[in-house]
């Protein structure tokens, strides 16, 4: 009984595997029909990023907060209004009463308000530069994932074509085996190769779908119902750039370099604020009080007016640690700015060299390497169908052609990724799909 059950289980599993080998495209297509597909061009993708990505929308509030702080810096010290009432009691007998009112105001000396506004404005400018820098890296990273989705889409197509080609060879071998034209071992080998390619197709398709999900994440959309598919294509056109022009663009447009430059101005304004804070504030007071005898609350017995001024004694000014800190920060900011400038220049040269190296590799593929490999594969398959060559030679030609196609697509991806990186380091977008 147990042996019969095992035989049935083995037969069922074998039937399922054979069915998937023969009809793999059905399971793939059925999986995709459950999801709404939206083809999106690179230009539309970038537009949606700027209006839909929640991280970027949240990041923009940092600039709004900095602008609001400039408004806070314009505030004058508020005047203080106070009232007092006192009553005297002696031996439980109600005595004299008095009422007083006072208004006081703090007068800031040393242009403290102007200095605070200057510091707040520098903070606002730094926030704007940091937002631009965030956007620069944000768009570059998003573009990389768009290119990755394009690459996975191409690789999935290559794997599907390879599988279909091997499937046709497998079907033809089955017919030739019945006719006695080939050995059973060759027919079995072609089936095994088709099965291996089908597994690779499943894996490649999963990676392709996951790369599409990343696009939905960038656009802040749930991918459970709708997937964005890259609608752009890799182009073979090589774009020429001048290193001097790229360096000039980077020094003019790099937002992190601007932020480092603004930081120096911020520290200088902070030094002015530190100096102004060392100036003493003057507190002015104006008030009046009335006294009443006993329970007679109708006419005051005494009426006084007074005014006063208070000036703090700034013994703390003997210590100049705050001024030293501000001066050190200026020197520190200048060193940091110089280092960022050197870093920017070197990044441009590195990105430039990598981009043109990859462009030359793409050009080598376009010089007939792929076409020759395909011709060899077609010739081997034709010779195999006529019994003039072995299956092993066909499989070797197939693998060589697949490897070349995959290498070509990955090199194209690397070339366009290098173009994105060139745009990142110069602060100006270079990608145009």
Verdict on whether the full-model pTM lies above 0.85: no
pLDDT of residue 324: 94
Q: What is the 3-state secondary structure (H, E, C) of the chain?
A: CHHHHHHHHHHHHHHHHHHHHHCHHHHHHHHHHCCEEEEECHHHHHHHHHHHCHHHHHHCHHHHHHHHHHHHHCCCCCCEEEEEEEEEEECCEEEEEEEEEEEEEEECCCCHHHHHHHHHHHHHHHHHHHHHHHHHHHHHHHHHHHHHHHHHHHHHHHHHHHHHHHHHHHHHHHHHHHHCCCCHHHHHHHHHHHHHHHHHHHHHHHHHHHHHHHHHHHCCCCCCCEEEEECCCCCCCCCCCCHHHHHHHHHHHCHHHHHHHHHHHHHHHHHHHHHHHCCCCEEEEEEEEEEECCCCCCCCCEEEEEEEEECCCCHHHHCCHHHHHHHHHHHHHHHHHHHHHHHHHHHHHHHHHHHHHHHHHHHHHHHHHHHHHHHHHHHHHHHHHCCCCCHHHHHHHHHHHHHHHHHHHHHHHHHHHHHHHHHHHHCCCCCCC
pLDDT of residue 95: 61
Instruction: Please answer whether residues 216 and 227 qualify as being in contact, where contact means their C-beta atoms are separated by less than 8 angstroms.
Output: yes
Q: Could you give the CA distance from residue 332 to residue 308 in angstroms, rounded to a whole number?
A: 45
Instruction: Please answer whether residues 39 and 229 qualify as being in contact, where contact means their C-beta atoms are separated by less than 8 angstroms.
Output: yes
pLDDT of residue 326: 93
pLDDT of residue 26: 36
Q: Could you give the CA distance from residue 228 to residue 48 in angstroms, rounded to a whole number?
A: 11
Q: What is the mean pLDDT of each run of 10 residues along the chain (433 residues)?
A: 40 37 39 70 94 95 95 91 78 69 90 93 96 96 96 93 88 85 85 90 93 94 86 82 94 95 95 92 90 65 84 88 94 96 96 94 83 85 82 85 90 94 94 83
Q: Could you give the CA distance from residue 123 to residue 331 in angstroms, rounded to a whole number?
A: 18
User: Going by C-beta distance under 8 Å and a sequence separation of 6 or more, which residues neighbour residue 96?
Assistant: 87, 88, 291, 292, 293, 294, 301
Measured CA distances, 77 to 222, 236, 312 (Å):
50, 65, 17
pLDDT of residue 365: 84
191 closest CA partner among 204, 172, 209 = 172
Handedness of CA 268, 271, 277, 280 (dihedral sign): negative
pLDDT of residue 375: 86
pLDDT of residue 24: 41
Token pair 């210590």: residue: 319
pLDDT of residue 93: 57
pLDDT of residue 222: 87
pLDDT of residue 17: 37
Q: Could you give the CA distance from residue 340 to residue 129 in angstroms, rounded to a whole number?
A: 14
pLDDT of residue 9: 38
pLDDT of residue 224: 81
pLDDT of residue 396: 87
pLDDT of residue 22: 37
428-431 own/partner pairs: CB under 8 Å, 24+ apart: 428/249, 428/253, 429/139, 430/239, 430/241, 431/42, 431/143
Say how far residue 404 (Cα) sits from the centre of its chain. 32
pLDDT of residue 4: 44
Token pair 């939206």: residue: 38
Q: Could you give the CA distance from residue 275 to residue 262 in angstroms, rounded to a whole number?
A: 20
Sheet with 93-107, edge to edge strand ranges: 80-90, 93-107, 282-292, 302-310
Instruction: Please answer whether residues 46 and 147 qualify as being in contact, where contact means their C-beta atoms are separated by less than 8 angstroms.
Output: no
17-32 b/e with 16+ CB inside 10 Å = b? eeeebeebeeeeeeee
pLDDT of residue 87: 72
Pairing of strands 36-40, 226-230: parallel
CATH classification code of 21-52+110-278+321-426: 1.20.1600.10
pLDDT of residue 301: 67
């Amino acid at each position: 009984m147990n042996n019969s059950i095992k035989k049935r289980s083995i037969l069922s599993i074998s039937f399922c595997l054979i069915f998937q080998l023969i009809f793999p495209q059905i399971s793939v297509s059925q999986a995709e029909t459950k999801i709404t597909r939206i083809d999106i061009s690179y230009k539309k993708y970038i537009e949606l990023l700027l209006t839909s990505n929640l991280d970027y929308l949240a990041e923009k509030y940092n600039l709004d907060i900095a602008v609001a702080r400039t408004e806070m810096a314009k505030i004058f010290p508020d005047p203080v209004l106070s009232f007092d009432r006192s009553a005297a009691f002696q031996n439980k007998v109600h005595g004299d009463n008095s009422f007083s009112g006072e208004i006081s105001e703090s007068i800031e000396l040393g242009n403290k308000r102007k200095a605070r506004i200057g510091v707040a404005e520098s903070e606002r400018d730094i926030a704007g530069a940091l937002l631009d820098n965030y956007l620069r890296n944000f768009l570059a990273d998003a573009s990389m994932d768009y290119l990755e989705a394009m690459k996975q889409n191409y690789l999935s197509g290559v794997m599907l074509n390879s599988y279909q080609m091997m499937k046709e060879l497998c079907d033809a071998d089955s017919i030739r085996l019945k006719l006695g034209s080939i050995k059973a071992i060759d027919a079995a080998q072609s089936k095994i190769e088709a099965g291996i390619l089908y597994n690779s197709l499943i894996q490649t398709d999963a990676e392709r779908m996951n790369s599409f999900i990343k696009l939905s994440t960038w656009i802040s959309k749930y991918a459970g119902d709708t997937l964005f598919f890259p609608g752009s294509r890799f182009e073979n056109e090589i774009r020429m750039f001048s290193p001097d022009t790229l360096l000039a663009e980077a020094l003019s447009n790099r937002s992190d370099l601007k932020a480092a430059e603004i930081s120096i101005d911020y520290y200088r304004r902070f030094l002015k604020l530190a100096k102004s804070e060392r100036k003493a504030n003057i507190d002015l007071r104006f008030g009046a009080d009335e006294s009443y005898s006993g329970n007679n609350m109708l006419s005051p017995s005494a009426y006084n007016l007074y005014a006063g001024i208070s000036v703090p004694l700034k013994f703390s000014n003997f210590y100049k640690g705050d001024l030293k800190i501000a001066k050190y920060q200026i020197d520190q900011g200048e060193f940091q700015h110089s280092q960022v400038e050197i870093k920017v220049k070197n990044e441009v040269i590195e990105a430039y060299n990598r981009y043109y190296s990859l462009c030359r590799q793409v050009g080598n593929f376009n010089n007939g390497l792929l076409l020759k490999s395909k011709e060899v594969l077609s010739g081997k398959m034709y010779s195999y169908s006529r019994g003039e060559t072995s299956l092993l030679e066909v499989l070797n030609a197939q693998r060589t052609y697949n490897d070349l196609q995959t290498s070509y697509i990955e090199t194209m991806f690397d070339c366009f990724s290098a173009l994105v990186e060139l745009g990142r380091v110069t602060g100006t977008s270079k990608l145009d799909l």
